[in-house]
Amino acid sequence: METTVTAKLGRVEVRTAQRSDHRWASEFRYIPNGGPPSDWTEAYAPEGFVSVGMALSAGILLGKDAAENRAQTSHAG
C-alpha cells in the first residue's frame, strides 16, 4: 500500500508491505515542493508491526518529523 500525506513545505510518501512472518513493515520519503525526493527510509521496528495501521502510522509520523527537520535546515542558512 502506498499513501501520500501533506507535510511542511512538501509531502511524505509512505509504503507498507506485509512481511513473510505476517508482520508489517513501512518506509517513507520526503518530497519537498520543487525539490528532489529524499531516499526511502525504513520506519524501523525489528520485530515488525502487528497491523498495517501501526506500520502506516509509524511511517507518517517519522516522515513528517523528517520533513519538519529538513524544512528547518533548508531555511536556517
pTM value is 0.86
Nearest to 26 by CA among 15, 34, 13: 15
**Chain segment 53-75, per-residue pLDDT in tens:** 999 999 999 999 999 988 777 76
For 17-42, what is each residue's pLDDT tens digit? 999 999 999 999 999 999 999 999 99
Pinpoint the alpha helices (H) of the chain: 52-76
Amino acid at position 28, single letter:
F
| Phi, psi for 50 (deg, rounded to 5) | -80, -15
